[in-house]
Structure 1
Amino acid sequence: MKILYITTIGSTMDFFKSFIKNQLDIGNHIDIATNENDGRTKVATCYREWGCQVFHIDTSRSPISFGNIRAIKQIRDIVSNRRYNIVHCHTPLAAMATRIACKKLRKNGLKVIYTVHGFHFYTGAPLMSWLIYYPIEKWLSKYTDVLITINKEDYNRAKKNFYSSRIEYIPGVGINLEKFKYKKENGEKIRAELRINNKRTMLLSVGELNKNKNHEIVIRAIKDIPNITYVIVGRGELGARLLNVANEYNVDLKLVGYRTDVEEFYSAADVYILPSIREGLNVSLMEAMASGVACCASKIRGNEDLIDKPLFRPSSMNDVKYAIRNALDNRDDLIKDNVEKINGFRFEKINKMLNDVYSTI
């Protein structure tokens, strides 16, 4: 079976390494169409080493970029010339271009799968997101053979309102439970590197430093919590601002940038916090759960599928503070619940669910 993966930018392919390696091992042929022009958006080198061909398309994360229009013809040409059995698209703008490009090609037997990593319209979303994205996604669902949603809110909405002949709920890309597990020596190593002694509370977040990830409210919330260090793994445009806010509130904040050893940070943390305003189904929260960390998160779509408590309103500093204290006071119970629940999101289970889609489409 020949399959083409399509994403807006190349770095999104990082999430699919385990699944695609499995597909290659069972004899499927996988290629990729994406935009690698930005130095930070390259496709991981392993894909080319595995024999996947990577095609350039002009997709952009900006909805007003003409590159997304050009990508329609580029995708149509790639699919027509290579005669794929399945096109599997991810990310909203790449998915829009793909489904327009493949409308007529589906008459020749091509199947189009779209995995939604969180619709831009959701409970509490800005009105403009509903006015723009909802009608477009509803219209394009007519040209989607399988629509895969990764959280229950999106699944229920799509099932009720969209036209896709098949709508599935597959919760994320799966977690490698062997990779993400508590290892005392890893935690000690990270604490030594960051000079955080074992008597000090380490609060951890993993994610891009942007407005949606909402790290600033955590900084403001912990100003009155003694003996705590907030560590964020990730990079982004708000780094300087976060440091300024931390300095203003006298909060011990450590921004460690992009790291390839993120699993070791979970073993060092006392509490993991995800304060995002919007998520689909957050991978770092699942990694923290699997690693045996007490977690707290914003009460939004996706997060509610993963943990029951403590959840907080992402706009409420008091709620954030209470959730952190709650997590610290109930660490053992939360860790036990997390480790049990994350078993339902293990890679092997998710892999089988997606394999079933491929084999029955």
Structure 2
Amino acid sequence: MKKKVLFCATVEYHFKAFHLPYFQWFQQQGWEVHTAANGQLKLPFVDQSHSIPIQRSPFHLHNRLAYVELKNLLETQHYDLIHCHTPMGSVISRLAAQHTRKRGTKVLYTAHGFHFWKGAPFLNWLLYYPIEKWLVKYTDGLITINQEDYERASRLSKERTAVHYIPGMGVDMNRFTPVDDKEKQHLRRKYGFSKQDFIVLCAGELNANKNQGMLIKASAQLYEQIPNLKVVFAGEGTSRQTYEQLVHRLHLKQHVHFAGFCRRIEDWMNLCDVCVSTSHREGLGMNILEAMCVEKPVIATDNRGHCELVKPGVNGFLVKPHDVNGLADYIHQLYHQKEHLRLMGQAGRSLASSFAHEQTVSEMARIYTAYMNQTEKVMQHA
């Protein structure tokens, strides 16, 4: 009989964005792969998908129904291993798995960025820290993707739960690979830009945490000094209308472009000159990592995730989350020192190799194997 693994998250798109290589690895080991999340995406390397109405808000009434449905699923399917992700997906799945853990199922949780980071609002610590501390006892393995979270998880666990560090969820360096100047100009023409444009790309969901208003305000300081400046936001989100209104108020319509959701984000990264991330909080920062892979210099806000990736003066620069002037100064500096674009870009791809899929899948395979062996021992003595 095949062994079975269940991946849990709040929404199914999370799996498509981060976990397909891990699904493939389990199938190669002869395991049956299941997913449980809100949505009905058809995903490769998945044997069964279970639609569970998990909601992002911890106060949404549907989360009670999601808990019941997930608990029933765990009672009928008898999984050998459960790997949960995202805040609400991990809370509900760990609570639902209490009984099945007693039968030997191992439960892993990957924290893609704790909500209680150094400098986080007090309310975050008040709400999320006690919950995570309580849930440690329902977790066999806690996996972190940056050093700050790893150190905090180690203190949180107090040796009750094993804590692991992996270098992110992995980036596909074959998909995100640099192109030559001829292809770059072809992509610019394809998407409506010119060779003379100085393009700054900010990729990611448009929301308060991503803090894109900071880049819009910096653009207002730059467009007279850089007449050919084009700032592109690749993504959708709840803050789009707010940011569009800010662009209109600052008279930046000719300089700021909202591209919406971009399926071929690698094209946009290759046609730009610089990539920017202005997030208040990041577990790691996949948009920055992907930009490094295509040899683009990056300017990012100084937070725990970005600090793992950006080496100031080597592959980019770090600025404080509210330092609009500093962000504008670094963009201006790169505009006037074009040679830095190439050198920083090359350094970025070299640094990104440590976060490639091959590295993270290999590290996760080691962790999975250790827990699989523990499960086998439990079953043998049952």
TM range (shorter): over 0.9
Letter paired with 1:22: W
User: Is 2:188 the partner of 1:181?
Assistant: no
* Greater shift in the superposed pair: 328-337 or 63-72: 328-337
In the other structure, the counterpart of 1:149 is 144
Letter paired with 1:171: P
Distance 2:295 2:322 in 1: 27
Q: 2:268 aligns with which of 245, 265, 273?
A: 265
User: Is 2:3 the partner of 1:6?
Assistant: no
User: Is 2:256 the partner of 1:246?
Assistant: no
Q: Say which SS state the counterpart of residue 272 (structure 1) adopts.
A: strand
Deviation at 1:112, TM superposition (A): 0.2
Contact 1:148 1:169 in 2 (8 A): yes
Contact 1:151 1:281 in 2 (8 A): yes
Distance 2:264 2:183 in 1: 10
Deviations 1:193-249 (A, max 9, x none): 343222221000111111111111111112232121001111122223322322332
Task: Please give the residue correspondences for 1:135-284 in structure 2 after superposition, counting only pairs within 5 Å.
Answer: 135-163=130-158, 164-184=160-180, 185-225=182-222, 226=226, 227-251=228-252, 252-284=255-287
Deviation at 1:186, TM superposition (A): 4.5
Contact 2:295 2:342 in 1 (8 A): no
Contact 1:229 1:253 in 2 (8 A): yes
Contact 1:231 1:255 in 2 (8 A): yes
Deviations 1:70-89 (A, max 9, x none): 22222221112111100100
Deviation at 1:311, TM superposition (A): 0.3
Distance 1:83 1:317, change over 3 A: same
Contact 1:327 1:334 in 2 (8 A): no
**TM-score of the superposed pair, with normalisation by structure 1:** 0.94
Distance 1:327 1:151, change over 3 A: farther
* Greater shift in the superposed pair: 216-225 or 89-98: 216-225
Q: Say which SS state the counterpart of residue 259 (structure 1) adopts.
A: coil
Letter paired with 1:311: L
In the other structure, the counterpart of 1:61 is 56
In the other structure, the counterpart of 2:342 is 332
Distance 1:7 1:327 in 2: 39
Distance 2:62 2:330 in 1: 43
Contact 1:295 1:327 in 2 (8 A): no
Fraction of identical pairs, as percent? 30
User: Is 2:75 the partner of 1:77?
Assistant: no
User: Is 2:315 the partner of 1:315?
Assistant: no
Q: Say which SS state the counterpart of residue 201 (structure 2) adopts.
A: strand
Distance 1:76 1:301, change over 3 A: same
Deviation at 1:65, TM superposition (A): 0.9
Contact 1:186 1:265 in 2 (8 A): no
Distance 1:46 1:106, change over 3 A: closer
* Greater shift in the superposed pair: 238-247 or 227-236: 238-247
Contact 1:152 1:169 in 2 (8 A): yes
* Greater shift in the superposed pair: 110-119 or 165-174: 165-174
Number of positions where the alignment pairs a residue of Structure 1 with one of Structure 2? 353
Letter paired with 1:201: F
Query: What RMSD, in angstroms, separates the aligned Cα atoms of the two structures?
Result: 1.6
In the other structure, the counterpart of 1:39 is none
Letter paired with 1:344: S
Q: Say which SS state the counterpart of residue 173 (structure 2) adopts.
A: coil
Which residues of structure 2 form unaligned runs of 5+?
372-382
* Greater shift in the superposed pair: 113-122 or 328-337: 328-337
Deviation at 1:148, TM superposition (A): 0.4
**TM-score of the superposed pair, with normalisation by structure 2:** 0.89
Contact 2:35 2:46 in 1 (8 A): no
Q: 1:295 aligns with which of 282, 291, 298?
A: 298
Q: 2:22 aligns with which of 19, 23, 38?
A: 19
User: Is 2:47 the partner of 1:46?
Assistant: no
User: Is 2:108 the partner of 1:113?
Assistant: yes
Distance 1:71 1:240, change over 3 A: closer
In the other structure, the counterpart of 1:306 is 309
